[in-house]
Structure 1
Amino acid sequence: MKFRAKIIDVGCLNHFTRVVNTVSRLTKACVLRLTCDHLYFVLSGRVATGGVGMWCELSQGNFFDEFQLEGVSADANEIFLEVAPENLSRALKTAQNAKSVKIKLTKKSCPCLTLAAELPSLSSVSRVVTHDIPVDVIPRRLWHDFREPQMPDFDVSIYLPPLKTMKSVVDRMKNLSNYLVLEANLNGEMNLKIDTDLVSVTTHFKELGNPPWGDDGSQSSSPTHRDPDLMTEARVDIRKLQQFLTGQQVNPSRAMCNIVHRRILHLIFLHEDVSLQYFIPAVA
């Protein structure tokens, strides 16, 4: 089982750092799944029991100049590692001006992701800063727990408003209640609401648009039989939504939200080479 990769392009390094920073703000621990073509940061939360779930997918060819992987066996050419993304984020911060960054799986006193950053130097001798990030290797028998989540059979899918605007609204509402209702319909309308014994506040968004999900089976089809004006809602822990909005450094080209009525809020951020899905369970 071997893994080594190298980043030379500073733009790719900064982009990868932003992705890791985003993940580190969403969870203290997650699984890093490595394949020949992709990297995945996976948080396999049990949404049914109140846990959040996350699936972040990166195409390795858009980030790494070199990428070599030998998985656990020929028929399972993958590696699953449990890692604290904050440790990886801290290591990458020291490498922002690096000439190159190498990442490899090593065996020290425990399995580690070793990150070696070659820093600029005024002399002919290069300076290399090395970080050993402890990881746990996930045995193959547990891999099925960290596969890509199924697209939920949602009732409404809608594009999100500008994220800075949405974050500002949620930040203010957090001071009034622990819970927020997000509701939307197929006319491109979305409301953020809180309702307590003392105050009721609603922020309205209109003309957001609804994503055109295909009918070819590759993605769930938008439920066209619904009344376009009928609102679908999910009541969620406002702190979990705020945490997701606060941590964003991916700058998505498209941001969408799928709602399973009173069950799940499924947030999707798409960039040209990164996709991030986040699942927040609804509360009664």
Structure 2
Amino acid sequence: MAKLAKTCTLRLTTTKLYFILSEKVVNGGIAIWCELTQGHFFNEYNMDGYSEEFNEIYLDLTPDNLLRSLKSSQNAKSIKIKLTKKHAPCLTFEVELPSLSSNSRLVTHDIPVNVIPHRLWDDYKEPDMPDFDVSIYMPPLKLLRSVVDRMKNLSNFVLLSANQRGQMKVKVQTDLVTVTTYFNDLDHPTWRRDDSQSQEDRGSLQRDPAQFAEVHVDIRKLAQFLSSQQVNPLKVICNIVDNRIAHFFLLHEDVSLQYFMPVVST
């Protein structure tokens, strides 16, 4: 998140944590929804939210500040995270570090946060899964990142296209050169669709498997997204709504992340 956004929202519930970035996709912004199960990360977890009915907390913060606190705590014996109020609301990290003596050292980091009032929570709902035209498992991200890093020296935009026959193309085109990288034999996930959907809504199910769906996206945003992936996801799904949006779904045993990237005009 620190590589993808200067600020984000941290949503805390009794069972999960969410990192959320919700820019206006229609205006060229990106949207991110990252979900973590708290039981995978904490030995003890207690929270008291807005109310008994709405037992949640929403905080605006700078992820880079959070990253620095965690990096400095890599050798810690224990870390306790608390929401405190000092000069302003803070996420306070109480870090117990090993010492040469029998006593441990306690280091405290205070990260300023902004508590989001309940009336604004609806602005941070999980994005809807797009009614995609093509859904495909992506090639290894390290390989794709290498391709995109080379292409970004040629153009500001990249054409990403795929079909249901396991084919994906990554292409840049200028007045002087056209470069295309092909990936074949990629698997595609099987999604269960609601039987109540109309025929129009299920258009992607009737789509010719050989027909490509495509999106033009900002190549630097795509490169930034690929370079930020350090969680080593088990699988990455790319959903494409033809000429509208690219939706990336990263699956990991501890983390799931959705990344929405809008198309750009070329």
After TM superposition, the score normalised by the length of structure 1 is 0.90
Contact 1:157/1:222 (CA < 8 Å) preserved in 2?
no
- How far did 1:215 drift? 3.1
Q: Partners in 2 of 1:222 and 1:127 — Cα distance?
A: 61
- Structure 1 residues not aligned, in runs of 5+: 1-22
- How far did 1:126 drift? 1.1
2:28 partner amino acid: G
CA deviation profile, 1:121-142 (whole Å, cap 9, x unmatched): 1112210111000000001111
- How far did 1:184 drift? 0.3
1:47 aligns with 2:25: yes
Partner of 1:244: 225
1:26 aligns with 2:4: yes
Work out which of the residue numbers 195, 204, 211 in structure 1 matches 2:173. 195
Q: Partners in 1 of 2:100 and 2:194 — Cα distance?
A: 58
C-alpha spacing 1:222/1:25, structure 2 compared with 1 (3 Å): farther
Partner of 1:185: 163
- How far did 1:223 drift? 2.5
CA deviation profile, 1:68-87 (whole Å, cap 9, x unmatched): 11001111100000010000
Partner of 2:129: 151
- How far did 1:191 drift? 0.1
Q: Partners in 1 of 2:79 and 2:204 — Cα distance?
A: 46
- How far did 1:65 drift? 0.4
C-alpha spacing 1:251/1:33, structure 2 compared with 1 (3 Å): same
3-state SS of 1:24 partner: coil
- How far did 1:98 drift? 0.5
Q: Partners in 2 of 1:113 and 1:222 — Cα distance?
A: 47
Q: Partners in 1 of 2:61 and 2:118 — Cα distance?
A: 16
Partner of 1:133: 111
1:266 aligns with 2:266: no
1:105 partner amino acid: L
1:103 aligns with 2:81: yes
Segments of 4+ moved more than 6 angstroms: none
Q: What does 1:39-78 align with in structure 2 at a 5 Å threshold?
A: 39-78=17-56
Partner of 1:16: none
- How far did 1:271 drift? 0.3
RMSD of aligned Cα (Å): 1.4
Q: Partners in 2 of 1:128 and 1:206 — Cα distance?
A: 53
How many residues are treated as equivalent by the alignment? 261
- Structure 2 residues not aligned, in runs of 5+: 196-200
1:269 partner amino acid: L
Q: Partners in 1 of 2:126 and 2:145 — Cα distance?
A: 27
- How far did 1:263 drift? 0.7
Q: Partners in 2 of 1:179 and 1:208 — Cα distance?
A: 24
